[in-house]
Amino acid sequence: MTGRALDVLIVEDEMLLAIELEHLIEEVGCHSLGCAMSSDEAVDLAEKLHPDLALVDVHLSDGPTGVEVARKISRDCGGVALFMTANVKRLPDDFAGACGVIGKPYSEHGVKTALSYLRYCLQQGQAPGPVPVGLTLAPAYAELWGLSDVLPKIA
């Protein structure tokens, strides 16, 4: 495992999912900053805590506000957002500035692999290899991390 631990913010209104995610984050050697359940809470926490990575569900307690949350975090808070949603197809083409998406339902292994992979990408500025199963990268980030030739298949 390379570099310092990533600070990860969870933006998820389903409490049990959030708690389990915290476990997974800690298990791959990252640091959980806590959990936001609404868009306001998410933006407040992101501005205060400056997470390296925010795991963002699209449907939050105040509605389908996750896309805007991801946009604000990546634009205003210097963090990188990653969607975790059951509605992968409804995401905007530019991923609202997020680096990618993990489709729900994800598996324990899928999330851990994706987090380790993204930690490498964020800290080294390039991908360690092909994108793991379960993770789809935004086109902009795939290019940034040197994967423009091996774009993940969404289908």
Partner 1 sequence: MNDYSEARRAGDRLAAGHGVDDPFAAAIRATHVAMLVTDATQADDPIIFANDAFLKLTGYDRDEVIGRNCRFLQGPGADPQAVSALREAVAAGQDLSVELLNYRKDGSSFWNALSLSPVRNGAGEVVYFFASLLDVTDKKAAEVRVRDRRDDLEQLVEARTHELTLALEQKTALLHEVDHRVKNNLQLISSLLLLQNRRVTDPTLKASLKGMLGRVNAIATVHRRLFQSEDVERFDVSAFIRDMVADLMGSAMRDDIAVQLDLERVDIAASKAAPFALVINELLTNALRHGFPEGHGGRILVGVARQDGEFRIEITDNGVGMDRDNRPSGFGLTIVQLLCQQLKAKWETTDAEPGTRVIVLLPVNGAH
Residues that bind partner 1 (CB under 8 A): 14, 16-17, 19-20, 23, 86-90, 103-110, 113, 132-134, 154-155
Least Å from the CB of residue 48 to partner 1: 27
Least Å from the CB of residue 143 to partner 1: 23
Cis peptide before 92 (omega within 30 of 0): no
HSE on the CB side for 64, CA within 13 Å? 6
Least Å from the CB of residue 129 to partner 1: 13
Least Å from the CB of residue 118 to partner 1: 16
H-helix or E-strand spanning residue 58: none
Residue 69 contacts residue 40 (beta carbons within 8 Å): no
Q: Which is nearer to partner 1, 2 or 107 (CB)?
A: 107
The two tokens of residue 117 are 């992979």
Q: Which is nearer to partner 1, 149 or 155 (CB)?
A: 155
